[in-house]
Structure formats: C-alpha cells, structure tokens
C-alpha cells in the first residue's frame, strides 16, 4: 500500500507491505541494486529514505495515519515556488514533474489500472517538464489533469476490451461465444451516463507544433540559402517532404528509368533525382530547386504577358520527359524500379506506374507584381502532368494555412 504526505516542505511517499507481508524485500533490493521500485512506477535510492524524528504539531499529515514499523517513507518531491518538484528519475522518465502544493495527491495521481504510470505515458508524448495546477503560465489546469486521469481505462474496461478482441476472432470458429463486443460498447456508453464522444484536440495541437516547426525552419534556411549547394539544399528540403505531402510514404533517390526514344539503336539510362511513393505504391516525381528570386517569370512582359523564365521552363520540360519515359516503360519499369529500390521501399510495397505526376518547388514569388503572380498561376495550370508548381513562398503560405486549420479545429 502506498499513500502520500505533505510535510516539512516535502512530498513524501509512504510504503507499507500489503496483506501482512513485511518490508524486508525493500532492504534486500537496496542492498542488491542500490535502488528499489515501488508499485512499478516510483524509483528510490537509500538516500531518499526519511529518518523519522519526533512529530510536531506543524506536520501536515492529511493523507493517512502515522507510519508503522512495517513501512518505509521516501522523499518524493521538494517544495519550490509553490510546486512540489519531483525529479524525473524518481518516476523513471527524463523530465521533471511539478505538482501544485494545493493539489490533492493520491495513488490515482500517479498510477492507473494495472500499474500503468500516468506520467510515464505523458512523457512519451512530450519532451519538457510538466507543471500541474498552480499559477505558472502553461501549467496544466487542475481540472484538465482530473479529466486526463479519468481518461485512463479501468481494469473493467481493459478486460472487456480484451474479451471483445478475442471474441471477434473466435466467433468465426465457435457458435457459443458470448456477446463480448456488445458488452464493451454498452460499458463505454454507460461509463459516463451518456454516449462517449472521442475528442482529439491534443492531436491537433501536436499538428500545429509540427507544422510551425517546419515553416519556421524553412524560413530560417531561406535566410541563409547562399550557404548551400544545390544538392545540399535538396537534401535539407527532403527532411520535410513526407510531412508537407503526407500522401507519400517513401522518398527514392537516383531512380533509373529507361529512355527508348532518344536513340533508335539502343536505350539510354536516365536518372530521376527524387521520386515519391504513395501508400498504394504509385510513383510520382519531385523537382526541388534552390530558391533564387528570379527563376519563375520574366521581369518584362511580352505583349502584356509574363512568360516562364528559362530555368522554370527547363525544369518543367525535364519533369515532363521523366514522366513520359516512366509511363512508356510500364510493367517492366515497375519490376525494375522495385528491384533496384527494394532496400528503401516499405515492407510489402511494389512500385506502380499509373499516370505519374510531378511536383516542382522552385524560386520565390513574394517580389512579383500582381500581373506576374496572375501569369504564374496560368503557367501552373497549363501543364496537365505537373500536379503542382510551388514557389517557396507558396510553400510557406500552404504551411501557414495548414497551421490555421488545425488551430481552428483544436
């Protein structure tokens, strides 16, 4: 049994052996490994043991009776600026936990059913110190912490869920299984007295943080673009591609494609710098160029029209040729690329070539006039096989729109 005490500017954990047991195992464990695990969640050393002195009237023993000879008292946290600071190592996590001094603390504050560590679960999803209650900006409100604790499944819920999973398999082979699935659903509906609605606001908050990081990192890189070669810049952008375009699951480099049309006598090997594979195995290509400011449309108009600059036209033409050769290669190309890129492909994936498309990321568009931007949009929509032509400013605007979407939803 464990309980908690607040006294002498400390948060203490009192351990007492259950069911008539003794505490000898604690001493033995400390001798053997210099630390002891309590309830599978807390970790203490011999230095954490409280040597009891005479009690005083100032002791704030609000969580239970005094210790017996069969109990150990450990220092769990110390009071700092209105919070009990618990070192992460005592909860077997990397970051520290701060609990408001007026927070009601019990076993349920740390341990869910089946000895699941509350803060251990939280630590898997965050990488910073956690404050609960109190007035510190950014601290988790006490009400939200109570909601969090209530969201952890009970033993009954876990048992019903396990029965549901097993029954789903057995029902195909036996006719006498109990209606476990319905029991599980009924339990969930009755647990709060109303049908449960699964809100996921935290997921959207994580998405906001993720896309804000990507956007801010790209802005930082754009300020220092001259420090990178073309290849270095491409490698930097590839770190973000699968996050910015989530339909793709894999990046392939130096993809060989056969060109049967340049020469009538023999095929020519062409190499696509970067190809993308979606969840269904369909292959597309992406061209990533450095963000020079004057690579998109002409500075002067021709008869009222701004035309694509040579670099953009060349990039589009190159992409179109790769797409042409990929499509013509067909089934044989699918097998060849799958074999050559096998080490990079997700398990069970095979490359498929079905009307492949291209994405082009190049240049800056913020300095363009309204007419130049209009003509740039016309250029984007002109090429049927190019699914998107993005300037880096377009990319940043897209990321900002995604961030706002998740902020509104959260």
Predicted pLDDT of residue 84? 96
The answer as to whether 32 is a domain residue is: yes
Q: Mark whether 362 and 214 lie in a shared domain.
A: yes
Q: Mark whether 354 and 211 lie in a shared domain.
A: yes
Predicted pLDDT of residue 66? 44
Q: Mark whether 44 and 185 lie in a shared domain.
A: no
Q: What CA dihedral angle connects 380, 385, 387 and 389, to 10 degrees?
A: -40
Q: Mark whether 120 and 209 lie in a shared domain.
A: no
The answer as to whether 147 is a domain residue is: no
Q: Mark whether 288 and 402 lie in a shared domain.
A: yes
Q: Mark whether 94 and 176 lie in a shared domain.
A: no
Predicted pLDDT of residue 57? 41
For residue range 310-326, what is the model confidence (pLDDT) as tens digits? 888 888 899 899 999 99
Alpha carbon distances (Å) from 70 to 12, 24, 25, 29, 64: 16, 9, 11, 16, 15
Place of tokens 């001798």: 31
Please give the structure tokens belonging to residue 207.
């998405």
For residue range 152-199, what is the model confidence (pLDDT) as tens digits? 776 666 665 555 555 554 455 545 555 665 665 666 566 655 544 455
* Beta-bridge partner residues of 73: 14
CB 396 within 8 A of CB 360: no
The answer as to whether 149 is a domain residue is: no
Could you say which residues of the chain have pLDDT below 50? 53-67, 169-170, 174, 195-197
- Number of folded domains that form the chain: 3
Predicted pLDDT of residue 335? 94
Q: Mark whether 264 and 395 lie in a shared domain.
A: yes
Q: Mark whether 240 and 377 lie in a shared domain.
A: yes
Does this model's pTM top 0.85? My answer is: no
- Separation CA 165–CA 159 (nearest Å): 10
- Separation CA 216–CA 246 (nearest Å): 19
Predicted pLDDT of residue 376? 81
The answer as to whether 160 is a domain residue is: yes
82 torsion bin: left (phi>0), alpha (psi -120 to 50), beta (else): left
* Domain containing residue 298: CATH number: 3.40.91
Q: Mark whether 282 and 392 lie in a shared domain.
A: yes
The answer as to whether 228 is a domain residue is: yes
What is the tally of helices (H) and strands (E) in the chain?
10, 15
- Separation CA 398–CA 396 (nearest Å): 5
The answer as to whether 33 is a domain residue is: yes
Report the DSSP pairing between strands 358-361 and 283-288: parallel
The answer as to whether 366 is a domain residue is: yes
Of 165, 191, 217, which residue sits at a domain end? 191
Q: Mark whether 400 and 298 lie in a shared domain.
A: yes
Q: Mark whether 267 and 383 lie in a shared domain.
A: yes
355 torsion bin: left (phi>0), alpha (psi -120 to 50), beta (else): left
Query: Measured between alpha carbons, how far apart are the two ends of the chain, in Å?
Result: 40
Place of tokens 């601290």: 139
Please give the structure tokens belonging to residue 269.
């090997």
The answer as to whether 358 is a domain residue is: yes
Q: Give the range of the structural domain holding residue 170, as residue numbers without chain letter.
A: 155-191
Q: Mark whether 169 and 102 lie in a shared domain.
A: no
């Amino acid at each position: 049994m464990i309980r908690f005490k607040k006294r002498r500017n400390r948060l203490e954990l009192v351990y007492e052996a259950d069911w008539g047991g003794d505490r000898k195992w604690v001493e033995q464990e400390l001798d053997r490994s210099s630390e002891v695990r309590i309830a599978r969640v807390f970790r203490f050393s011999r230095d954490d043991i409280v040597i009891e002195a005479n009690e005083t009237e100032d002791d704030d023993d609000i969580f239970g009776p005094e210790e017996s000879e069969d109990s150990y008292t450990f220092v769990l946290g110390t009071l700092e600026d209105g919070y009990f600071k618990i070192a992460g190592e005592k909860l077997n996590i990397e970051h520290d936990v701060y609990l408001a001094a007026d927070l009601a603390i019990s076993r349920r504050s740390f341990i869910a059913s089946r000895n699941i560590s509350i803060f251990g679960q939280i630590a898997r999803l965050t990488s910073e110190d956690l404050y609960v209650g109190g007035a510190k900006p950014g601290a988790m409100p006490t009400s939200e912490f109570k909601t969090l604790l209530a969201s952890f499944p009970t033993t009954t819920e876990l048992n019903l869920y396990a029965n549901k999973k097993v029954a789903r398999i057995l029902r195909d082979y036996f006719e006498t299984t109990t209606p476990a699935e319905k029991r599980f659903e009924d339990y969930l509906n009755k647990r709060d007295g109303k049908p449960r609605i699964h809100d996921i606001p935290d997921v959207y908050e994580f998405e906001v943080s993720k896309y804000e990081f990507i956007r801010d990192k790209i802005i930082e890189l754009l300020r220092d673009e001259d420090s990178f070669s073309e290849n270095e810049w491409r490698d930097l952008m590839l770190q973000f591609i699968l996050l910015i375009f989530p339909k793709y699951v894999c990046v392939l480099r130096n993809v060989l494609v056969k060109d049967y049309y340049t020469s009538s006598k023999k095929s020519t090997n062409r190499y696509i710098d970067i190809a993308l594979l979606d969840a269904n195995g369909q292959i597309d290509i992406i061209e990533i160029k450095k963000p020079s400011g004057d690579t998109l449309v002409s500075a002067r108009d021709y008869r009222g029209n701004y035309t694509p600059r040579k670099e953009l036209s060349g990039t589009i033409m190159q992409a179109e040729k790769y797409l042409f050769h990929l499509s013509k290669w067909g089934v044989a190309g699918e097998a060849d690329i799958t074999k050559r890129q096998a080490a990079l492909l997700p398990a069970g994936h095979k490359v498929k070539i079905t009307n492949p498309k291209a994405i082009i990321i190049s240049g800056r568009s913020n300095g363009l006039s309204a007419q130049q931007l209009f003509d740039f949009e016309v250029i984007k929509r002109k090429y049927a096989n190019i699914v998107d032509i993005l300037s880096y400013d377009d990319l940043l605007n897209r990321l900002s729109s995604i961030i706002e979407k998740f902020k509104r939803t959260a």
